[in-house]
Amino acid sequence: MAACAVALYGQTPQVNAGAALLEDFSKRVAAYAAIHKKARAEVHPLKPTANPEAIEKYEHHLAHRIRELRKNFVQGAIFTPEIGAEFGRLIKQAMQGATGPRVQASLKHAEPVRLPALHVGSSYPEHVPLQSTPPSVLANLPKLPPEVEYRVVGNALVLRDVDANLIVDFIRNVIP
């Protein structure tokens, strides 16, 4: 009982701090999603089309408008150092125990990619494959709105705008 109380007492502040950081992250992501939605409304949402050029233009125009609307398109605007550290903890947690080797194998299996450099606000290069993000990692990270997704790029975790194909933010060296 006493040991349990100590354990709980010991964990509570970290859990609360973690929850607060994730709440902060969600707010930052929601703010980005609002910009995305505004930009998308301005460039007109894309409907399925047989014209690939229309898809290309949509992606390009959407990315351009988001860049114009977003003032603080800098690394760390969403993944602040504190939030980044919390994500590091969550990813490490997702790869603990028996899950670890499985996730590592999946990362290897997924055709690991290396980008010469990551730049917030730039497009994810079309010739570079999208490395899949292991489901066990995704299950342990905060849920995202449909406008963005998590992508593993080498040892970095990237927040990517799905339709605009933009690198919204990233954390370096967070994937063990």
Partner 1 sequence: MSFRKFAVLLFGFLGVAAALDLKLPKDDKSVRFAIIGDNGTGEKRQYDVADQMVKWHDAFPFDFALMLGDNIYGGKTAADFKLKFEDPYKKLMDSGVKFYASLGNHDDSNERYYKPFNMDGKRYYSFKKGNVTFFALDSTYMSPDQLQWIDDQLKSSDATWKICYFHHPLYSDGKFHGPDLDLRRRLEPIFLRDGVKVVFTGHEHVYERLRPQKGINYFVLGNSGELRVHNLRKSRDTAKGFDTDCGFGLIEISGTQMYYQIVSRTGATIDSGSIDLGANAPASASASAP
**What is the phi/psi pair of residue 62, to 5°?**
-65, -45
Nearest to 35 by CA among 4, 62, 75: 62
CB neighbour class for 61 (10 Å; exposed up to 12, middle 13-18, buried from 19) = middle
Q: Which of 38, 109, 114, 119 binds partner 1 (CB under 8 A)?
A: 109
Q: Which of 12, 14, 16, 49 binds partner 1 (CB under 8 A)?
A: 49
Q: State yes or no: residue 139 binds partner 1 (CB under 8 A).
A: yes
CB nearer to partner 1: give 80 or 165: 165
Q: State yes or no: residue 126 binds partner 1 (CB under 8 A).
A: yes
The total of other beta-carbon atoms located within 10 Å of residue 19's CB is 11
Binding site for partner 1 (CB under 8 A): 46-53, 55-56, 58-59, 99, 102-103, 105-106, 109-111, 126-127, 129-136, 138-139, 143, 149, 162-163, 165
